[in-house]
Amino acid sequence: MMNLEMLNWTSDNGGDKKFKEISVIHANTALKNHFRPDFSSFHVVDYNPQTGEVIKKATWQGAANCSAWSRGQGWALYGYTMMYRFTKDQTYLKQAKGIAHFILNHPNLPADKIPFWDFDAQGIPFAKRDASAGALMASALLELAQYATGNEKTEFKSAAETMIYSLSSSAYHAKLGENGGYLLMHSTGAYPLNSEIDVPLIYADYYYLEALARYKKWYL
């Protein structure tokens, strides 16, 4: 879903219109096959390349095939919010709002709103956090709030604000000259693979800065 922004932008800025058509087909296919009734998503869907038939629904970086891998929920939130921006298709807006409500109302979302690496991770509340998931969720929620009204607008903006303040605190934000030059600590890349556990990640910093830029723009 995150890669679709490039396809949409290219078509809207002088490129071949087929790129946006591919983007929409991909988004619709994911909408059909990746999500559960509660708006949580599977991480991986394996398709038959000849027929397009779903072979299995599983995970690669999540806790289990039936779990809600936190960064994956963030990718989905961001992706469908972005698809609404480019298409104004209400289906995408509804999906983004549903994903947002799943995340924000989940009983395992900590008070500081920076998620554990999986919403169903073993060992909660002592499981590892994923600052990268929190950063991209914050950025996505700020954009989604622009398309919402009333209580939803307030809810999305307030949650994003909490995430940004949490990430900007000493609990996640490294001191100058520490953390290998990265801004954020405590991200989790692929816990089941014992890879990138409780480390800085470049995309955590990227979406944190994007969230800060969007937050600043909101008040200017």
CA gap 58, 61 in Å, rounded: 10
The DSSP-derived string for 91-110 is: HHHHHHHHHHHHHHT-TTS-
**Predicted local distance difference test score (pLDDT) of residue 190:** 98
User: Residue 52: exposed, middle, or buried by beta-carbon count in 10 A (0-12, 13-18, 19+)?
Assistant: exposed
CA gap 29, 33 in Å, rounded: 6
**Predicted local distance difference test score (pLDDT) of residue 220:** 62
- pLDDT, averaged across the chain: 97
> Taking the model in full, what pTM does it have?
0.97
Structure tokens at 36: 């559960």
Q: Which residues, at least 6 apart from 11, have a Cβ–Cβ distance to it below 8 Å?
A: 17, 18, 19, 20, 21, 23
Residues (pLDDT < 70) of the chain are 220
CATH code for the domain defined by 68-219: 1.50.10.10
pLDDT in tens, 49-98: 999 999 999 999 999 999 999 999 999 999 999 999 999 999 999 999 99
**Predicted local distance difference test score (pLDDT) of residue 219:** 74
Structure tokens at 78: 């961001």
